[in-house]
Amino acid sequence: MNIALIAHDEKKEELLKFVDEFKEEFAKHQLFATGTTGKKINELTNLPIHRFKSGPLGGDQEIGAKIANQELDAVFFFRDPLTAQPHEPDVSALVRLGDVYNIPMATNIGSAHILISGIIRGELKHA
């Protein structure tokens, strides 16, 4: 599966802990991430990960293009709902594309656990 990993600054540590917890499962898949998030995941886990630009510099849009081209199977996007994002239109567009193309997208730790459980059990139709 092709899986994207994204996190706003205030949620990066939470995503890092999550990916590290499920490192063995993530190692079975092709991973993509926005710049800083991908760098931190790679430094922590040594998992190979294709890094796009930082989210505010176009990384969200690059991942959105992969969704639009049906090249992603799942997205883990840990969003910070309490902090204004200068690139909010890009964030909204990314989430909208996920909905348009029916890509499973976890936007918080609760939904992330459900999504990773489905991936582990092989229950995703996009897999």
List active site positions: 60
Closest listed residue to residue 5, CA positions, set 91, 105, 88:
105
55 annotated as a binding-site residue: yes
Distances from the Cα of 45 to the Cαs of 49, 81, 97, 121, in angstroms? 10, 27, 29, 22
37 annotated as a binding-site residue: yes
Question: Roughly how many angstroms between the first and final C-alpha of the chain, as a whole number?
Answer: 6
107 annotated as a binding-site residue: no
Provide the β-strand partners of residue 30. Answer: 2
126 annotated as a binding-site residue: no
39 annotated as a binding-site residue: no
Q: For residue 110, give both structure tokens.
A: 């609760």
113 annotated as a binding-site residue: no
Which residues define the annotated binding site for substrate?
8, 12, 34-37, 54-55, 87
